[in-house]
Structure formats: C-alpha cells, structure tokens
Amino acid sequence: MKKNGTIDQEKAINQSAITVPLKEIHLPSTQPRRYFNSQSHQRLIRSIQTHGVLQPLLVRPRKVGGYELVAGERRYRAAIAAELVEVPVSVQELSDAEAIELALIENLLREELNPLEEIEGIIQLLAIRLNCPTEEVPLLLHQLQHQHKKQARQASNNVIESKEQYGEDQISALDIVETVFESLQMMSWISFVNNRLPLLNLPSDVLEALRFGRIEYTKAKVIAQLKDLEQRQQLLEQAIAQQWSLNRIREQVKALHTQPSTVPLKQRVDNTYQLLKRTKLWEHPEKQNKLETLLTELETLLQDEPQ
C-alpha cells in the first residue's frame, strides 16, 4: 500500500466518520503494537483532553456486536485515559489480511514500531497471505533466501537468472512475499530476512529490553554476542543507563571476549546444546552443510571414546 494511497484513504475516512461509544470498540488479538513511548503517550492524552480525537479511528464490525479496532490504537488508549465517552470512527468491512496491513501501516506512518513489533506484524501478515501458520513463515523465508543466493551465484557464472529455478510452490510464495513487502514500502524481503529475522534468536533478556524500547536493535545484536548471562546482563544495563554509543558497546564486548573463559567445559556443552535447540539451526538451508560437518566431527570424537 503506497503512502499517497494511504493519504487518500485518510481523506475518505474523515468524510465517512461517525461517532460511537468508546466502550463498543474492542482491541483485536492481532494488534501489531504492544509498547508505547510514555512521554509521547502523555502528550497525546493532553491533546485529546483539549481538542478531542481529531483523526477518526478505523474499525470494522464484529460478528458478536460492537467494533474491532483496526487502526488508531494510540488514540484509542489515549481517549480511554482522557475519559472520553465517545469517539469518531470510520467503519469498514475488511478481511483479516486487510485489517492487519492497515494496522501496520497506521503505526509505521504515525510512530514507528520497534523492530520486534515490526517483525511479528509482518510475519503475521505473511502467514495470512500465504495461508500457513505463523511459525512456518521464517523457515519459508529462509528457503526462499537460500534459493535467491543460489540464483545469484548462477548469475555470476553467466547463467541466465529466472524464476524457473524455483519450484512451482516457491514461485507462488515468492510472488506473495514480494507483493507484501512492495505494498508496505519498508524494506525488501531479502533485507528483512538478513537483518530483522535474526533478532528473534536473541537471548530473552536482550529481547525484553528491545521489545520495550530500552535499546536500539543494532546495539542489542552486539550485546547478544556475549554468551555469559551475568556479563551480558551487566553490560546491557550499563549500556542503557549510560546511553553508550554502538562503538562503545563494541569495545566493551571485544574486551570481555579477550578475557580468559571461566565457564566450565561441561556448562559450555550444556549451553551450546540449549542454544542449538532454540535456534533450530538445522532448519536454515545455508547453514546445513556446516552443521553436518561439525556433527560428523563430534560423532567421530565420541566414537573414539571407550564404551
């Protein structure tokens, strides 16, 4: 969906607005935004207390009665805090995919989602368009990425690049994926796979800080390189409290990496096993050969041990 198209849509929303009781509007379970900047939220509350809700909320009818909020969650929550009784809305009949896409665009235009909210919202939209469970989307994207890299290598060897290199199902999925990212106008699907999806594998403590906007994702990725939980948490809190630059964080991580390891070998084995299970490395086509080699070496090492 193009931004100028969204502007035209906003004009239509304003022209078709009606007023409904705030209590009749309900949040959907698929709403892509979960965290709001507190200072920005307080400013919006004060504005609504003075001027009311100037931009109508976008809603769709619920089968059980009332309305489901599609776009405008910041204004909706601020209106509740401002103790408004009713708000202007535009009621539209929308499919699940249309509702999610409009909710994403609303947030991206008015106040960017943090990277995790962005990732989860896009995966959710792709799952609906591809008609598959959300947990299958990352694997599918990695498979498409693997095929894309294969094409790029063939192109560098003067092999004509064509979608014929993909299977029939992959071509259909690729077309859908490309269409979604073109409509969102955020980044290419390849950039999403390379730079955004890996964030889902960050340690839980770093993920939490990222989700609540305490640290930028570029800094979070560097801090996540520390495997020692105590070191990582200490560095994370220092970086947030003292607002360290990305370069400062890199220097600290490098310094910690050069220190002699005090983690017992058994614990390192346990940690590696847990990390392997969590990241599901075997599902990444581009890493399967390397994993196969390492497993073969480990199996050989174990066979040498006396029974």
Q: DSSP letter string over 204-228?
A: HHHHHHHHTTSS-HHHHHHHTT---
The answer to whether residues 124 and 49 touch, using CB atoms and an 8 Å cutoff, is no
CA distance 137 to 282: 16
The answer to whether residues 225 and 250 touch, using CB atoms and an 8 Å cutoff, is no
SS3 18: strand
According to the model, what pLDDT value does residue 3 have?
A: 44
According to the model, what pLDDT value does residue 7 have?
A: 42
According to the model, what pLDDT value does residue 60 have?
A: 95
Q: Where are the domains of the chain?
A: 3-110, 124-199, 202-262, 266-307
Q: What is the mean pLDDT of each run of 10 residues along the chain (307 residues)?
A: 45 70 89 68 92 93 93 91 95 88 74 78 88 93 88 64 58 90 88 92 92 89 92 93 94 85 72 78 79 84 70
According to the model, what pLDDT value does residue 305 have?
A: 64
**Residue 260, Ramachandran bin (φ over 0: left; ψ between -120 and 50: alpha; else beta):** beta
CA distance 138 to 189: 11
Question: Kindly report the CA angle at 228 between 225 and 229, in degrees rounded to 5?
Answer: 100
257 contact partners, CB below 8 Å, separation of at least 6: 225, 226
According to the model, what pLDDT value does residue 6 have?
A: 46
Angstrom CA distances, 167 to 123, 158, 270, 284, stand at 22, 21, 39, 18
CATH fold of 3-110, please? 3.90.1530
DSSP string for 19-80 = EEEGGGEE--TT-S-----HHHHHHHHHHHHHH---SPEEEEE-TTSSEEEEE-HHHHHHHH
Max alpha carbon distance in the chain (Å)?
Answer: 80
> What is the value of pTM for the model shown?
0.64
pLDDT digits (tens, 9 = 90+) for 1-19: 344 444 455 544 555 789 9
CA distance 150 to 254: 34
Position 230, amino acid: E
